[in-house]
Amino acid sequence: MSYLIDRRLNAKNKSTVNRQRFLHRHRKHIKGAVADAVKKRSITDMEKGEEIRIPQHDIQEPVFSHGPGGKRYIVSPGNKEFIAGDQIARPQGGGAGGAGGNASDQGDGLDEFVFQISQKEFLDFMFDDLELPNLVKKQLVGTEVFKQKHAGVVSSGAPNQINIVRSLRAANARRIALGSRSKKRLKELEAELTVGLEGNNLDDEEKNYLVVEIEKLKRKLRKIPFIDDFDLRYNLKVKEPVPTSKALMFCVMDVSGSMDQHTKDIAKRFFILLYMFLKRNYEKTEVIFIRHHTSAKEVDEEEFFYSRETGGTIVSSSLNLMHEIVQERYAEGGWNVYAAQASDGDNVQSDSPTCFQLLSEKIMPLLQHYSYIEITSSQPQSLWYEYLKVKQLFNSSFAMKQIVEVKDIYPVFRELFQRREV
């Protein structure tokens, strides 16, 4: 039995493939560790790598061994304790070392395998299988994205674009065209010479003539080159513009007095996950941050996450501002517009029906998807029930989720943006 273990350092990416294979093999454990890490981390260290532990029973290495079949002869040493038919009792006490538990003077084992994943790998696993819902590629004019498209075969081009099959096919056709008449004549002369030699009806002059002509034809055929510059064919590739997916995301956060520090921290964690996801997975993405209490205001990233301004609650102010921004700046229709809203659900009783009217009549027809997150452990209030009416009207493009604790953020985030089969 042989054990092969690759312990090469990652100099010049020699073991990159092995590492990727290992990460794929233990994908389940790594994704679980990443999910646990997201729950425990603060806002400032969200993008760091992570230490991953693989349980002992899942650590296995490739083994080469003899397969079943064939004849095998084994000589085993004798013993003084057992005879044929005896049953060997299980060893008493003592557990495998390295897995914790009580001390023992027997047994051995292995500790959990611990390794570090990089920041990039951490983010890859954190946002694996996630995407913006209903994303449509709709922008073409002025695009900066192109793809190479095969546009046939031409007789001139760069050496790295040579089409070997088509070139050899052209060379073969040329050789057939140039040599077919000579080959036919060669076969006739060879047959005439063979018949003459077998019948002894050729004199020396006729024999010499046939031999000379045959040699001339053979030399002529050998001079036909196997391949010529004329035969070379090249793949023609042209640049084709690719429709781009331009996404606009509204991040709307309630900062009213009813949102205590714990609730705001949960909302910020959710929006940081969303912001990292957008910036990492989509190139042409704009994010607009809106904070609201009794009035709504468009702010930058710094003010959105760290401002301490607070007040009463009028949710419709943020929806009105969102609608104004879309109409003024993004009315040309080339954008996939999304919105994510986080609130504790507390709102002025008379304002909740206004929110329903704004969403159903003005905002949802302009959006690809709307995500509402309510951060509360109590019973939903009027805003939740008004949003339920919106969901009934726009079921495929409107999502509602409730978050109670920090540990709920990542599962809810994955559920909202999970890639769905078309």
Looking at the structure, tell me whether residues 218 and 277 fall in a common domain.
no
One-letter amino acid at 376 equals T
Inside any domain, residue 146: no
Looking at the structure, tell me whether residues 220 and 304 fall in a common domain.
no
Looking at the structure, tell me whether residues 395 and 256 fall in a common domain.
yes
Looking at the structure, tell me whether residues 380 and 292 fall in a common domain.
yes
**258 close to 315: Cβ distance less than 8 angstroms:** no
Inside any domain, residue 132: no
Q: What's the gap between Cα 367 and its chain centre?
A: 26
Whole-number Å distance between alpha carbons of 253 and 306: 12
**398 close to 369: Cβ distance less than 8 angstroms:** yes
Looking at the structure, tell me whether residues 116 and 210 fall in a common domain.
no
Domain boundaries, position 334: 247-416
Inside any domain, residue 94: no
Looking at the structure, tell me whether residues 118 and 165 fall in a common domain.
no
pLDDT string in tens for the chain (422-residue length): 556 665 655 555 556 666 777 777 767 777 777 777 666 665 555 555 556 666 655 556 667 777 777 777 777 777 777 777 777 777 676 544 444 445 545 555 555 666 676 677 776 766 777 778 776 655 544 455 667 788 888 888 888 889 999 999 999 998 899 889 988 988 988 888 888 888 777 788 888 888 888 899 989 888 889 888 888 999 988 877 665 567 889 999 999 888 888 888 889 889 988 888 888 877 778 899 999 988 999 999 888 888 888 888 899 999 999 999 999 888 776 788 899 999 998 888 889 999 999 999 999 998 989 999 999 888 888 899 999 999 999 988 999 999 988 888 888 888 888 876 65
Looking at the structure, tell me whether residues 50 and 184 fall in a common domain.
no
Handedness of CA 274, 314, 349, 354 (dihedral sign): negative
Inside any domain, residue 340: yes
The four Cα atoms 52, 57, 58, 60 give a dihedral, to 10 degrees, of 120
Inside any domain, residue 344: yes
Looking at the structure, tell me whether residues 271 and 408 fall in a common domain.
yes
Looking at the structure, tell me whether residues 199 and 252 fall in a common domain.
no
Inside any domain, residue 70: no
Task: Identify the CA nearest to 174 among candidates 155, 159, 152.
Answer: 155
CATH number at residue 274: 3.40.50.410
Whole-number Å distance between alpha carbons of 167 and 155: 9
pTM of the predicted structure, to 2 decimals? 0.57
Looking at the structure, tell me whether residues 338 and 360 fall in a common domain.
yes
Domain total for the chain?
3
**In the structure, how many helices (H) and strands (E) does the chain have?**
11, 12
Q: CB 86: neighbour CB atoms within 10 A?
A: 9
Q: CB 375: neighbour CB atoms within 10 A?
A: 25
Q: Which two tokens stand for residue 2?
A: 């042989």
